[in-house]
Structure 1
């Protein structure tokens, strides 16, 4: 049997890494962070335990990469869903809805992720985080930003703040109210993106600022 080519080896490594990321999302969503071990993740992924340490320095870094990948894939699916569009306002609305939607649909996972970011390690600079950042930056460019290097971090911080507000135990804010506030900030009509059912909050119908 001839040895595998470098391309085949690279593809196998990519798939192995992605199986670990998928398993992490599944297990932490089901059982929480503390109850999930690296051995559990390796077993769910069908991988050797040593591969986890080969790809990731520790469980916290693995979780952040897994959540950033989930966010990237969710955001990409939202931006590219039918009907496809190049309209910057619609893309901005879809981006907001995609990220807020994860806080609603996967509260345990996203709460754990936010808690990890607030620890000393902060953001993990991994390929998944970089792909997420690139998508958000492209959204800001499509929206018409004249200074995406300044506007992208602002959008990121506003989305993180909204996710955090949705997830605060005992003091959570309604996602629709936070959506309304973000839509007002970016002068977006309530019907753009994937609007929730029911009447929009008052903030959504106030006169929105006009983009320059």
Structure 2
């Protein structure tokens, strides 16, 4: 049997890494961060325990990469779904709504992710984070910003703050109010994206022009 080519080996490594990231999302969402071990993740992914440590220096870094992957895949799917968005305002609205939906659908996962970012390790730079940055920066470009390198980090910070407010234990803010504030900031009509049930706070439907 001839040895595998470099491209085949690279594809196998990519698939193995993705299985580990998917398993992390599943297990932390089911059990919580503390109750999930690297061994559990390896078992769920069908990988050797040592392979998890080979790809990721620790559980916190693994979790951040896993959440970044989930976010960029979810945002990309929202932006690319049919019908194809006709302008950049719809693209940005879909991206924002995708992040808000993740917070509501995966509260344990997203709350743990936010807590990890605020700890000493901070924001992990990884391929998945770069892909997330690419899709959000791309949404800002399609929206029409003239300075995406400045506007993308601001959008990221606003989204992080909104997710934190949605998930704050004991004092969460309502989705409608938070979404309205974000949409007003970028001049987006309430009906764009995937508006939540109940209509906008105060009955306003049109965003302020950015």
Range of TM-score over shorter length: over 0.9
Structure 2 residue aligned with 1:85? 85
Where 1:125 maps in the other structure, the secondary structure is coil
- Structure 1 CA distance, aligned partners of 2:199 and 2:51? 50
| TM-score for both structures, normalised by structure 1 | 0.96
- Structure 2 CA distance, aligned partners of 1:103 and 1:113? 10
Unmatched runs of 5 consecutive residues or more in structure 1? none
- Structure 1 CA distance, aligned partners of 2:98 and 2:207? 22
- Structure 1 CA distance, aligned partners of 2:86 and 2:133? 19
Structure 2 residue aligned with 1:117? 117
1:97-108, aligned counterparts within 5 Å? 97-108=97-108
| TM-score for both structures, normalised by structure 2 | 0.97
Structure 1 residue aligned with 2:204? 205
The answer as to whether partners of 1:86 and 1:142 remain within 8 angstroms in 2 is no
Cα deviation, residue 175, structure 1: 1.1
Question: Once the two structures are superposed, what CA deviation does each residue of 1:28-72 show, in whole Å capped at 9, x if it has no partner?
Answer: 000000000000000000000000110000000000000000000
1:1-212, aligned counterparts within 5 Å? 1-202=1-202, 205=204, 208-211=207-210
Unmatched runs of 5 consecutive residues or more in structure 2? none
The answer as to whether partners of 1:187 and 1:208 remain within 8 angstroms in 2 is yes
The answer as to whether partners of 1:71 and 1:132 remain within 8 angstroms in 2 is yes
- Structure 1 CA distance, aligned partners of 2:54 and 2:195? 42
Aligned length: 210
